[in-house]
């Protein structure tokens, strides 16, 4: 397997509503690429998440590009995740892509998205 496959597709807080970004990892010079989801309440702004992910991925030899952001509402009790909103700085992520990535990780969850701001 590739080293890229070893990078976790999803790292989000287990509970609450928080900002998230969709990030594309790429080998310099093209070739292999992969989209990952990162979100945390610790981030006041979307770029705080990117500023943490980017150096981690550069160490592994990947270039990172933020494809946009939004918010995630994660309810672990009811096993529901809602993806919505947008990032002022990065624009709106394609939430449908985010949902597909989340579904692989949270297989028994109900996961939805919308363009709602709240």
pLDDT tens-digit readout, 10-66: 999 999 999 999 999 998 887 889 999 999 999 999 999 999 999 999 999 999 999
**Lookup: tokens for 109:** 């969850």
| Paired strand residues for 70 | 20
| Paired strand residues for 17 | 73
* Closest by CA position to 67, among listed 43, 89, 45: 89
Number of domain units in the chain:
1
How far is residue 107's CA from residue 69's CA, in Å, rounded to a whole number? 22
Residue 30: which domain range?
10-114
The set of residues, in sequence order, having a beta carbon less than 8 Å from that of 109 and lying 6+ positions away, is: 79, 80, 81, 102, 103
Is 17 among the domain residues? yes
- C-beta atoms surrounding 25 within 10 Å: 19
Whichever domain contains 42, its CATH number is: 3.50.20.20
pLDDT > 70 in the chain, percent? 98
Is 4 among the domain residues? no
| Paired strand residues for 19 | 40, 71
> Global pTM?
0.94
Is 5 among the domain residues? no
How far is residue 62's CA from residue 7's CA, in Å, rounded to a whole number? 11
Find out whether 77 is annotated in a ligand binding site: no
Query: Annotated active-site positions, please?
Result: 46
Is 2 among the domain residues? no
């Amino acid at each position: 397997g590739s080293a890229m496959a070893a990078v976790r597709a999803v790292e989000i807080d287990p509970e609450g509503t928080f900002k998230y970004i969709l990030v594309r990892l790429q080998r310099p010079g093209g070739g292999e690429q992969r989209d990952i989801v990162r979100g945390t309440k610790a981030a006041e702004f979307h770029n705080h998440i990117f500023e943490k992910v980017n150096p981690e991925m550069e160490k592994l030899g990947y270039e990172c590009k933020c494809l946009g952001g939004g918010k995630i509402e994660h309810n672990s009790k009811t096993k529901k995740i809602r993806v919505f909103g947008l990032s002022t700085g990065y624009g709106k992520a394609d939430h449908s892509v985010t949902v597909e990535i989340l579904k692989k990780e949270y297989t028994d969850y109900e996961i939805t998205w919308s363009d709602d701001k709240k």
